Amino acid sequence: MTWISWLVPVLSLAGIALAAIKWLRVAQREHYLAGSIIFMRRVWIAGRPVNGLEALMLAGALVGHGLAPDSFWPLLGGVGMVVFPIGLGYRGRTSPLNWTARLRRTAFVGAILLCVAIAVVGWMIALVIGGGWPGALAMAAVVSWYVIPDLVLWMAAPIERRLSEKFVVRATGRLDRVAPVVVGITGSYGKTSTKWYVRDLVAGTRRVVASPASFNNRLGLARAINETLTDDAEVFVAEMGAYQPGEIADTCSWIPPSIAVLTAIGPVHLQRFKSEERIVEAKSEIFERAAVAIINVDHPVLADLAACMGDRKVWRCGTSEAATDVRVRPDGRLLTIEVQDRALGEPIPAGPFPANLACAVAAALELGVPPGVVSDRARRLAPTDHRQTTGRSEAGFEIIDDTFNSNPAGAARALDVLMSAGEPSGRRAVVTPGMVELGPRQHDDNRRFAAAASEAADHLVIVGRTNRRALLCGARGGPVEVVLVDNREQAVGWVREHLGPGDAVLYENDLPDHYP
């Protein structure tokens, strides 16, 4: 055994270090959820089948090492880790790696765990296959790497929860001291816009603070309370998200809402929840401690849920006839707000999402805002950023920005907005990477969206490869011209080159670059 033979494990570890950088970035973007790394590996293989060669290279390294233990075969697996997935960058274009304290801890724990795995698995390989230690350790490193990232995320979750407890305790104390009325808002979609509507309808009557941006998980809400909840706040509006059952119940255990709002139910995050029934159960956790329930009853399941609220006061809201308490009726470019079948002032200009506005109106009325004031403020509600907001480019074409929407119902509404945009004779384009996290429905929902887009638009610009197959399938046979681009920058360049005065473009959803 010579020093040259030790180059194999050293180079293998160097390859792992490089691969770890890009997968740590993915873990950070996926909220450090265990299982997210192997899921994203599958996404990259599905989007670019050539990435399946990484598995073949690993198999080749295993077979080669078995036949020739003291050789350079393990490096074949190391090269595969560095090269694949093709297209997944190290630095990140839209989502750069941020070396936070949590990421550094994750990397450190991963390094320790990898060392332990290399020692144990290397000993087993040397015992079973034979050969020298350098080759056995190199092969152990390559094999162990593929299970280490998700194992680290699983092991780190309870540790991170314990480390974050001090922030939650501080936030709980501040919330108890200020004692605002808490309005909790959840739903598969519509949470953020409803939150801003509630804030704007209530502000001026009561001092209100809303959780900023999309700070809707345990640590984000703790930060929101610690940093933004003022001593004179009378109302705190908290957006509450969930990736798994029990998450909202945990949040409500220390941020108990007096008024709980459920905006909508849909297949968003279906890949994590596995069924819409589990989504309903998870979102319904927000009502456990609430005295007042505000529910968008447009969905039949939520209409049934509203009938099972026990002694709570229930506001049935939405756009359908089931919305007997607050109903918003769209009528062309106007919205009519009705409270118990009576118009709340004059119709207001269309712009706010009708069902979300209905829920927000109910919350404002429950908080004591006079009906006339609610009607007046509803007329002046600002659009929610990146959710069907409209503008005009320097070249004169209309832009509909719906890049923060990723649900089928919202995408369908965005197509309606596109059809009424621009000049009647103008061209219309849809730019989209499709929708993700829809579980087994993802292909069919994207296919249906593309089919609808092919009727509403003249051009369908498909961004990336994540949903390319489904979108192409939906557009096939339609009158739309399909354009394929690799990233959003190329799509924007195509739009600027081909659209002009009187035209319109819909940017529907956007994906960070850890998706293919």
Instruction: For residue 85, say if its preceding peptide bond is cis, omega within 30 degrees of 0.
Output: yes
What's the CA gap between 516 and 513, in Å, rounded?
7
Question: pLDDT of 39-51, one tens digit each?
Answer: 999 999 999 999 9
State the alpha helices, DSSP H only, in 286-353: 300-306
Domain boundaries, the chain: 3-157, 179-378, 389-508
SS3 181: strand
What's the CA gap between 133 and 126, in Å, rounded?
7
Fold assignment, 389-508:
Protein-Tyrosine Phosphatase; Chain A (3.90.190)
Per-residue confidence (pLDDT) for residue 6, from 0 to 100: 84
Indicate the range of 159-168, 223-232, 274-283, 467-476 predicted with least confidence: 274-283
Largest CA distance in the chain: 89
Amino acid at 246: G
416 has pLDDT over 80: yes
Give the residue carrying structure tokens 């009938």: 307
H/E segment holding residue 138: helix 133-145
Confidence band, pLDDT 50/70/90 cuts, at residue 270? low
393 has pLDDT over 70: yes
State the alpha helices, DSSP H only, in 30-147: 36-47, 53-67, 74-83, 101-128, 133-145
What's the CA gap between 491 and 399, in Å, rounded?
13
What's the CA gap between 346 and 169, in Å, rounded?
46
The answer to whether residues 306 and 369 touch, using CB atoms and an 8 Å cutoff, is no
Taking the alpha carbons of 351, 212, 238, 282 in that order, is the dihedral positive or negative?
Answer: positive
Question: pLDDT of 160-200, one tens digit each?
Answer: 999 999 999 999 999 999 999 999 999 999 999 999 999 99
pLDDT, average across residues 354-383: 96
Give the residue carrying structure tokens 């709340």: 344
What's the CA gap between 100 and 256, in Å, rounded?
30
pLDDT above 70: percentage of residues in the chain: 99
Per-residue confidence (pLDDT) for residue 221, from 0 to 100: 96
Question: pLDDT of 3-39, one tens digit each?
Answer: 667 888 899 999 999 999 999 999 999 989 999 999 9
pLDDT, average across residues 417-424: 92
Q: Show the tokens assigned to 118.
A: 């290399």
The answer to whether residues 344 and 332 touch, using CB atoms and an 8 Å cutoff, is no
Beta-carbon neighbour count of residue 333 at 10 Å? 10
What's the CA gap between 387 and 507, in Å, rounded?
10
Quick one: residue 212, left, alpha or beta (phi over 0 = left, psi -120 to 50 = alpha)? Answer: beta
Per-residue confidence (pLDDT) for residue 120, from 0 to 100: 93
Confidence band, pLDDT 50/70/90 cuts, at residue 2? low
Q: 144: Cβ–Cβ under 8 A, 6 or more apart, which residues?
A: 114, 117, 118, 121
Fold assignment, 179-378:
UDP-N-acetylmuramoyl-L-alanine:D-glutamate ligase (3.40.1190)
What's the CA gap between 353 and 402, in Å, rounded?
13
Distance of alpha carbon 349 from the chain centroid? 30
Exposure of 324 in the CB half-sphere (CA atoms within 13 A): 5
What's the CA gap between 317 and 356, in Å, rounded?
9
